[in-house]
Amino acid sequence: MTSPANTSPTNDVVSAVEAADQARISALTAGDADALRRSLHPDLTYIHSHGQVDDLTRYLSDFSSGIVVYDSVGHDIEVTTVTDGVALAVGVMSVAGKFAGRQVEFRSRTMSVWESDGQTWRLRGFHSSRFGGRPGGSD
Region 88-92: what's the mean pLDDT?
96
The per-residue pLDDT for range 27-46, each reduced to its tens digit, is 999 999 999 999 999 999 99
Q: Read off the pLDDT of residues 92-104 as tens digits, 9 standing for 90 and up.
A: 999 999 999 999 9
Q: How far apart (Å, rounded) are the C-alpha atoms in residues 127 and 137? A: 18
Looking at the predicted structure, is the pLDDT value of residue 6 above 70? no
pTM of the model: 0.85
Q: Parallel, antiparallel, or unpaired: how do β-strands 40-47 and 121-130 relate?
A: parallel
Helix (H, G, I), strand (E, B) or coil at 46: strand
Q: What is the pLDDT of residue 30?
A: 97
| Sheet strand arrangement including 121-130 | 53-55, 40-47, 121-130, 102-116, 86-99, 68-83
Q: What residue type is 137 in one-letter code?
A: G
